Structure 1
Amino acid sequence: MDYKKMTIQNKDDILLPNEPFDLFGRLIVSRINNQWSYEIEEFDEVETMVFPDENYDFHQIQEKGFAIGAYHKEKCIGLAIYEYNWNNYLYLYDLKVNSDFRKMGVASRLIKEGQNYAEELGYKGIYTVGQDDNLAACLFYLKQGFEIGGFNTRDYDYTKQEGKADVYFYLK
């Protein structure tokens, strides 16, 4: 596996399509005495979801941050998009890995590569946002050493995803 920052030469790889994933539970987040905690709620029925494909523009990504690709035999199979941010945390805007390569350490390595760039750029860490019902993603971030640092129950009001919430994860 090869990991490299996206350049004009491989810019089309930022259009890596999204693939299905299972929604099998929810992270129930609470904050008591300035301490974040969570419980896991497992769903009775598993649903499958696919995020709509993004129409990323390489030049816009370059203006706001950078992208790192994971390559297997010269084919992009994973992508992490990072954005510069004002708060000394680099924002992990998107992270995806082709389903055939999941659970093989690709996403972990894309985060590690992002940490290296964050350090070079003077950032103190990385943060990202996960939907509370994407339990696989939430547990993945926690396993990577991210800590819960926020919870937003209002972003999905008045949308087709009403009832969902965003969990903010921070990695120092």
Structure 2
Amino acid sequence: MTDFTLRRITEADEAAVRLPNQPFKLFGHFIVTRDEAGWQHHEVLDAEVREQTFPEENYQLADIDAKGFAIGAFAGDDCVALATFENRWTKYTYLADLKVNIPQRRLGLAHQLMDFAKPFAQAAGTQGFCTVAQGSNLAANRFYLNYGFHIGGFNTNNYFHTRARGETDIYYYLDF
């Protein structure tokens, strides 16, 4: 097993914020409802597994640092996982992006990145994390719930005028 070093990304390793997006599996949907007991969810597995790759963000470290911070996981000099965060007026630090290269997935790096980021968010005066996952990204939804996030909202309209019409967004929150 490879040893990884986690660190806040600085000018010395700025190229790490441009870690390319890699495909991820879409194998089910996360269905969210709300009733008098609160948010409920269940999973529906798809008959076929598909892949999706998000467009490249072309991040600039100065832009990230102006709003928050970036954390990277490194194998030697190579960045293999990235998390970018934005501090918000709501007292939540928004997890804007979380990605792990395919060979390093399922090794706990996403969890480690979140743990490592917590003191940086607290130092900025925030009280927790928030993020958004698409309903079709079952793996992401599972990760957030397993990490300790709770569902705080659901949006069926963000993609109405796009090719992804019918997609949903699930809003997650984690209090420190």
Determine if the alignment matches structure 1 residue 140 to structure 2 residue 151.
no
Determine if the alignment matches structure 1 residue 30 to structure 2 residue 30.
no
- Provide the residue aligned with 1:40 in structure 2: 43
Task: Please list every run of 5 or more consecutive structure 1 residues that lacks an aligned counterpart in the other structure.
Answer: none
- Provide the residue aligned with 1:78 in structure 2: 81
Per-residue CA shift, 1:127-162, capped at 9, x if unaligned? Answer: 000000000000011000010000011000110111
Given the two structures, how large is their TM-score scaled by the length of structure 2? 0.95
Structure 1 residue ranges (4+ consecutive) displaced by more than 6 angstroms after TM superposition: none
- Provide the residue aligned with 1:90 in structure 2: 93
Structure-to-structure mapping, 1:7-156, within 5 angstroms: 7-33=10-36, 35-156=38-159
Q: Which residue type is aligned with residue 83 of structure 2?
A: A
Per-residue CA shift, 1:12-65, capped at 9, x if unaligned? Answer: 110000111111001100111151110101111111111111111111111111
Q: What is the aligned length?
A: 172
| % identical aligned pairs | 42
State the distance in 2 between where 1:119 and 1:59 align. Answer: 21
Q: Which residue type is aligned with residue 158 of structure 1?
A: H
Deviation at 1:84, TM superposition (A): 1.1
State the distance in 2 between where 1:108 and 1:131 align. Answer: 19
Per-residue CA shift, 1:71-120, capped at 9, x if unaligned? Answer: 01221000000001010100000000001000101000111112121122
Q: Which residue type is aligned with residue 77 of structure 1?
A: V
Q: Which residue type is aligned with residue 138 of structure 2?
A: L
Given the two structures, how large is their TM-score scaled by the length of structure 1? 0.97
State the distance in 1 between where 2:160 and 2:62 align. Answer: 32
State the distance in 2 between where 1:34 and 1:125 align. Answer: 23
Determine if the alignment matches structure 1 residue 170 to structure 2 residue 173.
yes
Greater mean deviation of Cα atoms: 114-123 or 153-162: 114-123
